[in-house]
């Protein structure tokens, strides 16, 4: 029978082949996730690879796993959106997130809208420019601040958002997948907590380097 080391090396080689097109995927965390998926919730030797066993992992490993999962989720949803959104009046999920916010606001400055979506100024400005070009947003001077420009949604923009209802419903349905109502509620609460944490960093500390952000916001 092959030694444990030989078996482990073979499994790692298969893992490397499985991520051949993902140069950023080669990591200890990725290999652990690969092994967990391959072995299933319970391995042949009776070892539990479910959540209960993950409680024995240190925080560093768990945070790496969480970051990997969150990153992949974003790519999954983006792939689904690329298949469906161009078939609607709103070409991308980014444009949709800008328009949906404006359905709830009478008007916002461009900076407020960009910050709300956690984009860099150049990226957000380009999205707003496209939406104005399509007639979905209109811009006016800010009467209180001559340096700012305000945007608001047009009737054409509202119609465009409403036209995506079926598509965005399908996107949200497949994104949340097989989660139960209880799991979905827990996920939403957890993500909201993380969003509040990162929103504060984005709005107040985005000029800092990564090490400085960790020191300032996680020093305890």
Q: Which residue has the tokens 């504060």?
A: 200
- State the angle between helix axes of 28-39 and 4-18 in degrees (0 to 180), rounded to the nearest 10: 100
Tell me what pLDDT residue 52 has.
53
- Judgement on whether residues 156 and 182 belong to the same structural domain of the protein: no
- The residue out of 56, 73, 93 marking a domain boundary is 56
- Specify whether 156 is located in the same domain as 100: yes
Residues 6+ apart with CB under 8 A from 123: 114
Q: What is the pLDDT of residue 51?
A: 53
Least confident of 38-42, 60-64, 188-192, 197-201: 38-42
For residue 215, tell me if it sits in a domain. Answer: yes
CA atoms within 13 A on the CB side of 35: 20
Identify whether 74 is part of a domain.
Answer: no
* Burial category of 39 from C-beta neighbours within 10 Å (exposed 0-12, middle 13-18, buried 19 and up): middle
pLDDT, position 218: 85
Handedness of CA 143, 148, 154, 159 (dihedral sign): negative
Q: Domain count of the chain?
A: 3
Residue 153 maps to a domain: yes
- Average pLDDT for 97-109: 93
Q: What is the pLDDT of residues 110-138, one digit of tens each?
A: 999 999 999 999 999 999 999 999 999 99
- Report the distance separating Cα 132 and Cα 139, nearest Å: 8
| Residue 203: band (very low, low, confident or very high) from pLDDT cuts 50, 70, 90 | confident
3-state SS assignment for residue 87: helix
Q: What is the pLDDT of residue 22?
A: 63
Residue 70 in any domain: the answer is no
Per-residue pLDDT of 162-174, as tens digits, reads 999 999 999 999 9
Asked whether residue 66 is domain-assigned, the answer is: no
pLDDT score for 41: 45
Q: What CATH number has the domain bearing residue 110?
A: 1.10.10.10
Q: With cut-offs at 50, 70 and 90, classify the pLDDT of residue 77.
A: very high
Helix (H) / strand (E) element for 149: namely: strand 149-153
d(Cα 216, Cα 208) in Å, to the nearest integer? 9
- If one counts every other C-beta atom within 10 angstroms of the C-beta of residue 127, the result is 20
Cα–Cα dist 160/157, whole Å: 5
CB atoms within 10 A of CB 98: 28
d(CA 209, CA 91): 34
Q: Residue 35's domain spans which residues? A: 1-56
Note whether residue 76 is domain-resident: no
pLDDT at 5: 65
| Residue 61 resides in a domain | no
Helix ranges, the chain (H) = 4-18, 28-39, 51-54, 59-84, 93-104, 110-116, 121-133, 155-163, 165-176, 181-204, 210-217
Over 70: is that where the pLDDT of 46 sits? Answer: no
pLDDT tier for residue 148 given thresholds of 50, 70 and 90: confident
Specify whether 197 is located in the same domain as 159.
no
Output the average pLDDT for the chain: 84
- Tens of pLDDT along 3-38? 666 666 777 787 778 777 665 556 666 776 777 666
């Amino acid at each position: 029978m092959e030694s444990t080391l030989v078996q482990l090396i073979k499994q790692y080689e298969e893992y490397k082949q499985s991520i051949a097109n993902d140069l950023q995927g080669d990591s200890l965390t990725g290999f652990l996730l690969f092994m967990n998926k391959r072995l299933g919730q319970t391995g042949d030797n009776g070892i539990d690879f479910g959540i209960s066993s993950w409680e024995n992992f240190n925080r560093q490993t768990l945070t790496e796993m969480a970051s990997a999962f969150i990153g992949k989720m974003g790519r999954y949803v983006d792939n689904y959106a690329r298949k469906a959104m161009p078939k609607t009046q709103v070409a991308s999920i980014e444009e949709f997130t800008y328009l949906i916010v404006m359905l709830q606001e009478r008007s916002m400055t461009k900076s407020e809208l960009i910050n709300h979506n956690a984009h860099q100024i150049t990226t957000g400005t380009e999205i707003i420019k496209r939406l104005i070009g399509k007639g979905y947003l209109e811009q006016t001077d800010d009467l209180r601040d001559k340096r700012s420009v305000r945007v608001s949604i047009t009737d054409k923009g509202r119609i465009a958002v409403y036209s995506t209802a079926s598509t965005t419903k399908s996107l949200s349905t497949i994104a949340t997948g097989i989660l139960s109502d209880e799991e979905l509620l827990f996920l939403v609460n957890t993500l909201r907590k993380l969003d509040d944490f990162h929103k504060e960093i984005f709005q107040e500390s985005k000029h800092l380097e990564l090490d400085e952000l960790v020191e300032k916001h996680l020093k305890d």
